[in-house]
Amino acid sequence: MKYISAVLCVLLILTTAANSQLTPPKADAPSAKQTADKPAQKKSKTLKAKKAVAKTDNKSKTESKTAEKEKGFVVIETTMGTITIQLFDDKAPKHSANFRKLAREGFYNGTTFHRVIPGFMIQGGDPNSKDNDRSNDGLGGPGYTIEAEIGVPHDRGVVAAARQGDAVNPERRSNGSQFYITVAPAHFLDGQYTVFGKVVDGMDVVDKIVAVPRDQRDNPLTPVVMKKVYVK
């Protein structure tokens, strides 16, 4: 009996020891403090995220306002009055950016409106018109062309880019600096030339310019000079 009792005691001890190794370590369970801290950490992270989003939104709004301010209108001060132009940055971004660039550089200062046709338009922006040789007016530019951005219709008072004809310019790329302003709707030009702005002030000046006496090449007998062109 003593021998049997001893064997039973040994088996009981081994079984207890084996069962204790199958119990998950208690360290894996989060403490009460850790559990309580989690919602607070989550709330803190949420507030930080909201502040970050708000900061980003405010920054975007500021940048947008700054960008709009930097774009601005283009003002043309001529010998016959002032013309203010709003550019279509959304519809013709390349032409709009180029027009502002040239205005900021003073490229147009001293050029003339070298072609005026009553009931149609006035055209200018050729650097050749700065000299006294009227025969080369309309043939110049900054030395590059601009990819066509055709789409806006030719209503009265729009500003569009001049270009060479389709025979030598099938892609309808625009002259880098020459432009025209319509004094009447010219929808027969729709789909052929890039319109990139409109006159918002000074159409009365445009109407006066288009009516001046001109030679056989439609060049005003008395030069209509762009004294100063700048971004406002």
Q: What is the CATH number of the domain that holds 181?
A: 2.40.100.10
| Domain-located, residue 113 | yes
The pLDDT assigned to 71 comes to 76
| Domain-located, residue 124 | yes
Report the run of H or E that residue 116 belongs to, with start and end: strand 115-117
| Domain-located, residue 64 | no
The pLDDT assigned to 60 comes to 53
| Domain-located, residue 19 | no
165: left (phi over 0), alpha (psi -120 to 50) or beta: beta
* Report field, pTM of the whole predicted structure over 0.85: no
| Domain-located, residue 179 | yes
| Domain-located, residue 51 | no
| Domain-located, residue 99 | yes
Give the domain range for residue 144. Answer: 70-231
Number of domains in the chain: 1
| Domain-located, residue 125 | yes
Give me the average pLDDT of each 10-residue run along the chain (232 residues): 44 39 33 38 57 58 49 95 98 98 98 98 98 96 98 98 98 98 98 98 98 98 98 96
